[in-house]
Structure 1
Amino acid sequence: MDMTQIRKEDSESMPVHNAEALTGNDRQALITLGDQVYRLRITRAGKLILTK
């Protein structure tokens, strides 16, 4: 992960998570917010998609 693009002041004020670590080999993860469930997916092109 290229951390040079994350500004120091940003990383000190909010958590930084590696999407590949979150999604594992399936390149997908479920994320909850309240009672809602969202799917985070890494595409073949390396883009992130978050869907409900």
Structure 2
Amino acid sequence: MPLHTLPPLPHREGAARPASTLGQVGREVDSGALLKGGREILIRHAGQVYRLRHTRNDKLILTK
């Protein structure tokens, strides 16, 4: 399933700046595209497994 790039979000005062304004290349992926209706996924990175979890409070938590 291809991931879609979303348009940049407007900057809010006090919010973190988008990666593009920091001179870094980045892309934005909707969490729904990653989770596909589930509450968590496992991500393998550099030989380690991380868990990305969508909480009841509508937060995302990434743990090793």
1:7-46, aligned counterparts within 5 Å? 7=18, 9=20, 13-46=25-58
Query: Which consecutive residues of structure 2, in runs of 5 or more, have no partner in the other structure?
Result: 1-8, 12-16
More strand per residue: 1
Unaligned runs of 5+ in 1: none
Which amino acid letter does the alignment assign opposite residue 41 of structure 1? Answer: R
Deviations 1:3-25 (A, max 9, x none): 44585x45xx3011111210122
- Which residue in the other structure is 1:47 paired with? 59
Scaled by the length of structure 2, the TM-score of the pair is 0.59
Q: Looking at CA atoms only, which structure, 1 or 2, has the larger radius of gyration?
A: 2
RMSD: 2.5
Please list every run of at least 4 consecutive aligned residues from structure 1 whose deviation after the TM superposition is greater than 2 angstroms. Answer: 3-7
* Other structure's SS at 1:22 match: helix
So what's the TM-score if we normalise by structure 1? Answer: 0.69
The number of residues matched between the two structures is 50
Pick the structure with more helix per residue: 1
